[in-house]
Amino acid sequence: MKLRALLIIVSCAALLLAAVLVGPRLEGPQGEFIVWQLRVPRVLVGVLVGATLALVGAVFQALFQNPLATSDTVGTTAGATVGALFALVLDSSRTVQGLPLVTVCAFVGALSGSLLVASFASSRAAHSSDVLLAGIAVTLATSAMASGIQYVSDSRALFAAAQWSLGQLPQVGYRGVLLLAPLCTLSCALLLLLTRPLQAFALGEDLAHSQGVNVPRLRLFALGLGSLGVAACVAWCGPIAFVGLIVPHLVRRLLGSSYRVLLPMSLCVGAALLVTCDAFARLIVPGRELPVGIVTAALGAPTLVFLVARGRR
């Protein structure tokens, strides 16, 4: 098992390195600029976003005892979408404190969506299935709002919104990395501290409660921290599908459900997966970049079906 984990870590590192190097041949100062000012920061953003989405997915699946739970399930993405649409309709070129208005609004939207669900989750009486239902309710309500906004907006804003909703790693340079890094690192580091109580959840929420886990408090912490990290990711990159869903399942299949392994390994694999998908997205159509969200969804859906089919055997 240790050997297998080590092997996975090494291949993840190799994939990250390869993602920086692949592409058209680069020479001279221009090549150096492309590598250091464009590719490296983009890979770093990919690492942060992929790792955060995957870890939060693993945590939420444990928390809700539901293999389908991700940050999308608790209203984060839906909230971000409404925020982003709002900004795009208002004026996509405007900035707040030097940050794009879209990013700021998406961040606020993502946090408010998940806080709505979290406030419900922290109530004593709520069971995890109730929390999932609250998440679905918030998602439905916000998508109604999103449709409403789209209905009254012009075609330019609609096109921008459609592009945003595909999800891509933006060229944000080192400034973007510096803005993302603290939020993602904080969120991931604190989530990793919840390994022990989350492990107690493996045999059921009620048993964990009887073993001394403060369930409402754990839920509030995990939801709050997870949403913070994901909100930052979604705000910059839009909703990137499937990473939070696939990665924990993949790791679980390979290494089992000891969260002391599952959570940190989800971080590694999530980072490598998103960066690799992004490299694909750069190269697959010559001269044109695809949004990475399309690649993750295209790869993710069949992978999920494959994992489920194998698991049933």
Partner 1 sequence: MAELEFVDLSVKVGARTLLDRITLRVAPGEFVALIGPNGAGKTTLLKTALSLRTPSSGSVRLSHRSVSELEARKRAALIAWLPQHIRAEEPVTGLESAAAARYRFRESHAQSRRAAEQALARVGASQYAERRVTELSGGERQRVAFACLIAQQAEILLFDEPANHLDPAQQLEVYRLLGELWREGRSILCINHDVNLLHHVGDAARVRVVGLRAGRVAFDAPFESAALPAHMADLFGVEVEALRGSEQRFIVPRARSTS
How far apart CA 288 and CA 94 sit, in angstroms, is 27
Find the shortest distance in angstroms from Cβ 266 to partner 1.
14
Q: Which H or E element spans position 282? A: helix 259-283
Question: According to the binding rule CB under 8 A, does residue 308 interact with partner 1?
Answer: no
Question: According to the binding rule CB under 8 A, does residue 199 interact with partner 1?
Answer: yes
Contact 48, 307 (CB under 8 A): no
How far apart CA 94 and CA 110 sit, in angstroms, is 19
| Interface pick for partner 1 out of 41, 57, 176, 197 (rule CB under 8 A) | 197
Contact segment (CB under 8 A) with partner 1 among 169-177, 205-213, 287-295, 297-305 equals 205-213
* Structure-block tokens of residue 45: 């953003």
Question: According to the binding rule CB under 8 A, does residue 193 interact with partner 1?
Answer: no
Question: According to the binding rule CB under 8 A, does residue 200 interact with partner 1?
Answer: yes
Find the shortest distance in angstroms from Cβ 200 to partner 1.
4
Site string for partner 1, 148-187 (x = CB under 8 A): ----------------------------------------
Residue closer to partner 1 (CB basis): 153 or 258: 258
What lies within 8 Å, CB to CB, of 213 at 6+ separation is 197, 200, 201
| Interface pick for partner 1 out of 252, 274, 275, 292 (rule CB under 8 A) | 252
How far apart CA 225 and CA 294 sit, in angstroms, is 27
| Interface pick for partner 1 out of 5, 15, 257, 298 (rule CB under 8 A) | 257
* Structure-block tokens of residue 74: 């608790």
Residue closer to partner 1 (CB basis): 123 or 143: 123
Look at the chain and count its residues.
313
How far apart CA 288 and CA 159 sit, in angstroms, is 18
Nearest of 103, 125, 144 to residue 236 by alpha carbon = 103
Q: Which residue do the tokens 């389908």 mark?
A: 68
Q: Which stretches of the chain bind partner 1, using CB under 8 A?
A: 62, 65, 67, 124-125, 196-197, 199-200, 202-204, 206-214, 252, 256-258, 260
